[in-house]
Amino acid sequence: MSLLNREVFWPPADELIEVAERIRARLGEWPAAAMRWRICLTAPEAPKADDLIVLTESHDADAGRFADSGAAVLDAREGRVTLHRGDERFALEGERSDDWLAALAAFLDCNFEPHDALTLALAWRAGDENKADAWPVDFATFPRVADLPPAPEGGFPACPDRLGLYPVLPSADWVERVLDLDVRTAQLRRKTTDTADLKREIARSVEAGRRHDAQLFINDHWREAIAAGAYGVHLGQEDVQTADLNAIAKAGLRLGLSTHGYYEMLRALHFEPSYLALGAVFPTTTKVMPTKPQGLARLRRYVQLLSGRVPLVAIGGIDAKVMPDVLATGVGSAAVVRAVTEAPDTAAAVSSLQQMFAGK
């Protein structure tokens, strides 16, 4: 857990490393960082892939000149902080404490990706290390994601704060089968390039949702979901760039958004969705994930920050064995796939999972 005996800041900065050490000591045990970042307070002549170069002066050259080295760049000028990493750009606005760079080093050491470590560092306030729980949990201190389009006027309709068991299912047959077992939240994730098949499957699933008065979400296919009058749609982070959120809101559909860490949670909240999905909690084979598994410790912190602000759904690799631990974080819903679709006895599996939510 120590930051000593390695190069954390360049040039060496004794005062910063001392503050970073104090902060890191109060953040608890986390897995060893996958990459040992070096925070460069001035631009090195020969930057490396594990360098995070901080630009603070207006005469510093454009961040793009370091792209070939593979280094990440933090442009901390003009009232915002923008992280450039490869082709990705993460822009955040908000107050900064004097300790933000020391906090950044500490959160990087907790194995957070640079954009999430930066989000936490900007939420850090001087003296937080003296609190009983030093972790940033006051939403008011967190930065804002910059340069986003306006949220849809009027927003999206609300859904229940605790959506309970949330099976993600491959077909209308599965949707009908599971809703017949008294499940009240489900998602159709239909993987097909056949337009006619897709429309039929969505129409059947939506009708089953109506019969059972259930919250039936359609994954990705928002146009077809609008046409069928679905309860809601579920989109990934990448879909926010291409989907017509205004059309979805105008049609009265609920919106669920996937997130994979602090930065994406703040970005998703800007659009005022009906719920946030937090994942992947554990490794999953049902789809290719853009990020490493989050784990229960992170999930617990996400719930602590966002509970009561928006309904939350844990997702990714969740089965009956780990469900009690997932629910112990306080999350109000958990999405499952193989725990239902690959169960030897579907009815028994659903009943067992439903019982775990009783009283939660």
Residue 179 in domain: yes
Looking from the CA of 143 toward its CB, the CA atoms found within 13 Å total 30
Identify the CATH number of the domain in which residue 257 sits.
3.20.20.70
Q: Are residues 221 and 250 in the same domain?
A: yes
Q: Are residues 112 and 232 in the same domain?
A: no
Annotated ligand binding at 338? The verdict is no
Count of CB atoms within 10 A of residue 175's CB?
28
- How much is the pTM? 0.95
Residue 198 in domain: yes
Annotated ligand binding at 284? The verdict is yes
| Domain end (from 88, 115, 145) | 145
- Cβ partners under 8 Å of residue 39, min gap 6: 8, 9, 10, 52, 54, 101, 104, 105, 108
Q: Are residues 32 and 132 in the same domain?
A: yes
Q: Are residues 129 and 243 in the same domain?
A: no
Annotated ligand binding at 188? The verdict is yes
Annotated ligand binding at 317? The verdict is yes
Annotated ligand binding at 191? The verdict is yes
**Token code pair at residue 48:** 């490396």
Count of CB atoms within 10 A of residue 286's CB?
15
Residue 3 in domain: no
pLDDT at residue 3, as a whole number:
72
Cα Rg for the chain, rounded, in angstroms?
Answer: 22
Annotated ligand binding at 287? The verdict is yes
Residue 156 in domain: no
| Domain end (from 116, 145, 174) | 145
Which amino acid appears at position 235 of this protein?
Answer: L
pLDDT tens string, the chain, 360 residues long: the values are: 467 678 999 999 999 999 999 999 999 999 989 899 999 999 898 999 999 999 987 555 566 778 778 899 999 977 799 999 999 999 999 999 999 999 999 999 999 999 999 999 999 999 999 999 999 999 999 999 999 999 999 999 999 999 999 999 999 999 999 999 999 999 999 999 999 999 999 999 999 999 999 999 999 999 999 999 999 999 999 999 899 999 999 999 999 999 999 999 999 999 999 999 999 999 987 666 667 899 999 999 999 999 999 999 999 999 999 999 999 999 999 999 999 999 999 999 999 999 999 876
| Domain end (from 145, 180, 208) | 145
Q: Are residues 62 and 203 in the same domain?
A: no
Annotated ligand binding at 351? The verdict is no
Q: How far is CA 345 from CA 30, 348, 357, in A?
A: 38, 5, 19
Residue 1 in domain: no
Annotated ligand binding at 190? The verdict is yes
Q: Are residues 129 and 192 in the same domain?
A: no
Q: Are residues 139 and 197 in the same domain?
A: no
Q: Are residues 134 and 173 in the same domain?
A: no
Q: Are residues 274 and 236 in the same domain?
A: yes
Annotated ligand binding at 239? The verdict is yes
Q: Are residues 112 and 188 in the same domain?
A: no
Q: Are residues 113 and 236 in the same domain?
A: no
Q: Are residues 116 and 29 in the same domain?
A: yes
Residue 158 in domain: no
Residue 128 in domain: yes
| Number of structural domains in the chain | 2
Residue 330's domain comprises 164-357
